[in-house]
Amino acid sequence: MALLNYTDSGVQTSGALAGHSAVLMHGLFGSLSNLAGIGRALQEQGCRVVAVDMPNHGDSPHSAAMSYPSMAADVVAVIEHLGLVKPFLVGHSMGGKTAMQMALSYPGQFAAVAVLDISPVAYQARHDAALDGLQALDNTPVASRREGEQLLANYVPDAMTRGFLLKNLYRASDGSYRLKLNLAALLSHYHTELAGAVSGQPYGGAMLLLKGEHSAYIQSKHQPQIDALFPACQLTVVADAGHWLHAEQPQAVQDALLHFFSHYA
């Protein structure tokens, strides 16, 4: 099995988190650059930071399989390849669910787990304009990023979301811009595995769940399932933030993560 694409900051010898490592996992339609701010904050404290492109994203291999157990195994393969011992895990959205599945499937292998704005539950499948826009981009090679943005604007009115999605474009050998995403696999699993719940025996290790104040991805009705699977989970609300809390309130998110991980360093 080919390894996921990753970046590795390398071992550092000074700082409050020196001698420790962290693995960062982005969300759906993202790439390893999405959590770069968190990575820099951890590095400044001496932590070795490994960021991965999740399966079918960025420069990682394309695969027909895409479930939380399979993605968990893919990330664990990177950890084993690098010889990381009890790394911290940080995951946003789909990456957060993957981190939760890793904790459930490989207990005792991580120092602490931090999840950004996602619950371990199954979500109601819904129509997603972003998927429509990405399909249009996938089916219509464009000559420039600007042309790509104009096409995407027909589906995604929010400029911040468009900018995030357009990071998936790359320039092909014929000069046109195409998607790095394996969109066929994402479409195939979007309403089933990716919207599904994580499962396993309860994980009693340290976990931090960060919720964007204005986001609906973590709700009070999810609490029983959170408590059942992660009885030691701490919930912290990040004020004046939505689902993209690490981009909207980066300092608050970074401070919360550093404070949390400092207890397990």
Domain boundaries, the chain: 6-123+191-262, 129-180
Which residues, in sequence order, are bridge partners of residue 22? 49, 88
Mean pLDDT of 87-108: 98
Are the CB atoms for 115 and 215 separated by under 8 Å? no
pLDDT at 187 over 80: yes
Residue 149's CB: how many other CB atoms inside 10 A?
18
CB–CB of 135/156 below 8 Å? no
Confidence of residue 206 (pLDDT cuts 50, 70, 90): very high
| C-beta separation of 56 from 29 below 8 A | no
C-alpha span between 151 and 2 (Å, rounded): 34
Indicate the residue type of 165: L
Report which of 161, 164, 182 is spatially closest to residue 5, judged by C-alpha positions: 182
> Residue 47 and residue 17: Cα distance in Å, rounded?
5
pLDDT at residue 169 greater than cutoff 90: yes
- Average pLDDT on 121-134 reads 87
In this prediction, residues 201-206 reach a mean pLDDT of 97
Lowest mean pLDDT among 19-28, 126-135, 246-255: 126-135
Contacts of 198 (CB under 8 A, 6+ apart): 68, 97, 100, 101, 104, 120, 229
**Percentage of residues in the chain with pLDDT exceeding 90?**
91
CATH fold group of domain 6-123+191-262: Rossmann fold (3.40.50)
Question: Residue 131 and residue 139: Cα distance in Å, rounded?
Answer: 12
- pLDDT tens column, 138-157: 998 899 999 999 999 999 99
pLDDT range class, residue 123, cuts 50, 70, 90: very high
- Name the token pair of 22: 């962290």
Interatomic CA distance for residues 210 and 208, integer angstroms:
6
Nearest to 65 by CA among 178, 192, 200: 192
Per residue in 207-230, pLDDT (tens digit) is: 999 999 999 999 999 999 999 999
Distances, alpha carbon 146 to alpha carbons 62, 140, 177, 183, 258, in Å: 27, 14, 10, 21, 38
Q: What is the pTM of this model?
A: 0.96
d(CA 1, CA 168): 24
- Asked if pLDDT for residue 124 goes beyond 90, the answer is no
pLDDT tens per residue across span 3-28 = 999 999 999 889 999 999 999 999 99
- 196 has pLDDT over 80: yes
Contact (Cβ atoms closer than 8 angstroms) between residue 187 and residue 131: yes
